[in-house]
Amino acid sequence: MKVPEHLALSFLMAQFGAQQQYGPGGTALMMLAGFLPDLDAITLVGGWDVYRRWHRKLGHGLPMTVLGPLALALLGAFVYNLGPFPPLWLWLQAGLLGHLVSDILFYGWPVQLLWPLSRRGWAVGLISWNDLVPTLSLYAGVGLVLAMPAFAAQGALAGMFGVLTYLAWRRLHPRPRSHWGLWLAGGWTRRSRRLVRWLTGDFISR
C-alpha cells in the first residue's frame, strides 16, 4: 500500500472500537500507528540506493513493530489521558500490523518482518503498484464513515471488505484481460496528471 491508503485503512480500523473508546485522539493515533513502518522512507534523502536497501526493513522490522505502538500508547494514555493503556496499545498494535499485512499482500517487494534477527522477506504480490481498485474502495469507506458517522463501523467494514474481495479475486485471476481491468490495474497512469497520481500516494511515477 501507499501512504494515503495506509492512513485510510488505519482510519477504517479505528471505527471498530478505537474511535468509540478514545475519540478522535484514538483515531489519530491509529492512523499514526498505521503509518509508522513507512517512516523508513526518510532514507530517500540518502538517494535511491539507500532507500532500496533500507525501506521495508528499518521501519518494518521487529524494533518498530514492538516499540512503535507501545510508545504511542504510552503517549496517548499517560500524556494525553485518552483512556486506559492496555486496550489502546492493542488497537495501535493492530493498526501497525494492518500496515505490514497489507504490504505483504499487495506488492512484490519483500517485507523483512524479523529484521534485524533475520533478513528473510515476505511478499505475495497480488496487485500492481498503481492498481486503483483498493484505493477507491478504501477512500469510499472513509467517505461513508464521514457521511454517516452513526454507521461508522458498517461503512468501515464495507471499505475493507471491498479490498479483501478484490485481493481474493486477483488471487484467482492474476492478470486482468479486459480493457477496464487493465486500466484499473494501473493502465490509468499512462495519461494521468501528476496531481491525480499524488492523490493515490504515487509520488514516484513520472
112: left (phi over 0), alpha (psi -120 to 50) or beta: beta
**Are 111 and 123 a contacting pair, CB within 8 Å?**
yes
Give SS3 for 122: strand
What is the spatial distance between Cα 171 and Cα 176, in angstroms, rounded to a whole number?
Answer: 11
pTM above 0.85, yes or no: yes
Average pLDDT over residues 113-117: 95
The tens digit of pLDDT for each residue in 34-92 reads: 999 999 888 877 887 887 888 888 899 999 999 999 999 999 999 999 999 999 999 99
Angle between helices 85-106 and 18-35 (to 10 degrees): 50
The tens digit of pLDDT for each residue in 122-139 reads: 999 999 989 999 999 999
Q: Is 61 exposed, middle or buried (0-12, 13-18, 19+ CB in 10 A)?
A: buried
Average pLDDT over residues 6-33: 98
